[in-house]
Amino acid sequence: MKVTFHKHFVKNFDKRIKTNSNLLERFNSKYELFLKDKNDPLLHCHRLTGTMKEKQSFSITGDIRVIFQESEDTIEFLDIGTHNQVYK
């Protein structure tokens, strides 16, 4: 499975995560886990509902989420941020 990063994700990652060494370390850890098994219970991965029903989410911390969309052979990371930032 190939993972790609939408420009919106990259912008928000640089602004919200990359500048905080603790969050960056947690992201890297969860990203490695995601690559091994996206259904690992530690990720709290789930499908979204409503207007975001085509997307899924997993947790970096209790409040930081990654929003992604999966196709046949690609997973695209769409957004990252707090619950309030990504579910607007």
Residue 56's domain comprises 2-86
What is the DSSP secondary structure assignment for residue 56, as one 8-state letter? E
Are 65 and 82 in contact by the 8 Å Cβ rule? The answer is yes
Residues 6+ apart with CB under 8 A from 56: 45, 46, 47, 48, 67, 68, 69, 70
pLDDT in tens, the chain (88 residues): 899 999 999 999 999 999 999 999 999 999 999 999 999 999 999 999 999 999 999 999 999 999 999 999 999 999 999 999 999 8
Domain count, the chain: 1
Q: Which of 17, 43, 20, 50 is nearest to 75 (CA)?
A: 43
Are 16 and 84 in contact by the 8 Å Cβ rule? The answer is no
* C-alpha span between 7 and 26 (Å, rounded): 21
CATH of the domain at 56: 3.30.2310.20
pTM above threshold 0.75: yes
